[in-house]
Amino acid sequence: MVTTDHQTRIQALLDEIFDADTGIYQQRGFQRRVGFGKRPALIHIDLANAWTRPGHAFSCEGMDTIIPAVQKLNDAGRAKGIPVVYTTTAYTNVDGAHPDTGLWHLKIPVEQLRVGDPAVEIDSRIEPAPGEQVIVKKRASAFHGTYLAGFLRARGVDTVILTGVTMCGCVRHSCEDAIAEGFRPIVVREAVGDRVPGVVEWNLFDIDAKFGDVESLATVVEYLGSIDPMA
């Protein structure tokens, strides 16, 4: 268990680093804004039980903040009819030749992420509504080897609002691939998490400098309230 005092010390060190790094980035022309588009989608990354509930190897911190934030985003997004997409990570054969894990099983305990296991099901507190997409991915990015980009283009989406875990892994790689695929990535500060103290703050800072915009929950909810309903 990470103590509050430990978190405070880490945050103080990160603030000092960020203050210095902001100057470097700004001098070199980084930290520009991609901004919001007109047709967004919500992409919830790996908010399945193995990550959102305690007692798993993949369990992440901060769910008391992340889950309510996602609920608010879903309410605001569904009211405008925007696409809501969930991802989970799961494998069909974790005991044999690892055909769908590639080499990732050499690094992480994929044996705990089996297709059909309740651990890889989306957390019931933020369960998908009928018709919403649940994509089972095999790699960190929600885009890698999935139909996500094609689905979003077919719906005319220009902006992806990203939530979920982990900030240093699947959320980050999804953000990087989103901008590479031509979508405007918006990461919701209160709706992302990780397992290790400091990782969230560092990756939010770095992503905001180079790959997407980090925005507050209030700002994103206000934006969703301002857009025209999507057909």
Domain map of the chain by residue range?
37-226
Residues 60, 168, 170, 175: which is the catalytic one?
170
Report pLDDT digits (tens) over 158-168.
999 999 999 99
> Residue 153: which residues within 8 A CB-CB, separation 6 or more?
none
CB distance 126 to 46 below 8 Å: no
Q: What pLDDT score does 8 carry?
A: 74
Distance CA 230, CA 158 (A): 12
Active site (annotated) includes residue 168: no
Q: What pLDDT score does 1 carry?
A: 52
> Residue 15: which residues within 8 A CB-CB, separation 6 or more?
none
Report pLDDT digits (tens) over 65-87.
999 999 999 999 999 999 999 99
CATH code of domain 37-226? 3.40.50.850
Distance CA 192, CA 185 (A): 14
Q: Which residues of the chain carry a pLDDT beneath 70?
A: 1-4, 6-7, 16-21, 23
Global confidence as pTM: 0.90
Q: What pLDDT score does 18 carry?
A: 66
DSSP assigned state of 50: H
Q: If we measure between CA atoms, which residue out of 47, 35, 75, 54 comes closest to residue 179?
A: 35
Q: Count CB atoms within 10 A of the CB of residue 103.
A: 7
